[in-house]
Amino acid sequence: MWMWMWNTMERRGVSSIIFDLDNTLVDTAGAGRIAIQKVRELLKSMHVQESHIKDICDHFLRKLLHESFDPSEGKTIDDVRTHHWYEALHETQGTDPDLALASSCYYTWKNTRLQVLTLSPEVRSLLEELQKIYKLLLITNGDTQTQWEKIEAVRCKGLFSLVVVGGDHPEQKPARSIFTHCFESAGVRPQDCIMVGDCLSTDIQGGINAGHPDNLQDPDNEKTHLIQRQPESEIPMTL
């Protein structure tokens, strides 16, 4: 399968590959599940009612999914997510929880996720081989602190000619502007690039918006009706 991908890129004159990070190069979703299990064990050790533990974690995950973070408001992402846990505890138990417990839940979740997050040996080896032939770029959406912490945790910065974190810029994927910044900073042309990502609505639509003629997407993650044009090819993720 990878030989097919390699041959396709060579045949079409691709000189640069833009990768997404979360659930493309690293299994962020899997790391998150392990982190939530650690929080469940913590809550159980703190004698939280067994029937409440799953609901507390589910409440947190819903808040995380719909999170809106504005650093100009003077709060850090750690503050915001600690408050998610505080609200989840309050909404489930019906009483004002101990702020220290909310903080413990958050840092258990955060630290466990970062500890588990890794580039598999196969993915690292693949990137090292691709790096010999192609200019590799990384564009990842998310707030500045969270995404740079992930990048540092998986020790992947050295594999890329350029790393772009969405939170460092006015717009994130699928906005054309963040891709334009990437092209200009890396000295590449859109038509010479290919975008590899798991999300049709950000990675693949972003590649299309930016003028990439070729895009690769995980067929299992999203439905293709979300984008204006089909991805050129589908490959299984995490790579």
Q: Rounded mean pLDDT of 208-215? A: 76
Check whether 213 has a pLDDT greater than 70. Answer: no
Rounded distance between C-alpha atoms, residue 11 and residue 2, angstroms: 14
Query: Contact 149/114 with Cβ under 8 angstroms?
Result: yes
C-alpha to C-alpha distances, 172 to 72, 126, 135, 139, nearest whole angstrom = 17, 26, 21, 9
Check whether 237 has a pLDDT greater than 60. Answer: no
For 40-56, the pLDDT digits (tens) are: 999 999 999 999 999 99
Tell me the residue type at 198.
D
Query: Contact 213/197 with Cβ under 8 angstroms?
Result: no
User: Which pLDDT band holds residue 73 (cuts at 50, 70, 90)?
Assistant: very high
Please give the model's pTM, rounded to 2 decimal places: 0.87
Q: Is the pLDDT higher at 211 or at 167?
A: 167
pLDDT at 204: 87
Question: CA torsion sign, 114 to 236 to 198 to 65?
Answer: negative
For 77-95, the pLDDT digits (tens) are: 999 999 999 999 999 998 8
For 108-121, the pLDDT digits (tens) are: 999 999 999 999 99
125-138 burial string, b = 16+ CB within 10 Å, else e? ebbeebeeebbbbb
187 Cβ neighbours under 8 A, 6+ residues apart: none
Rounded distance between C-alpha atoms, residue 32 and residue 112, angstroms: 8
Check whether 231 has a pLDDT greater than 60. Answer: no
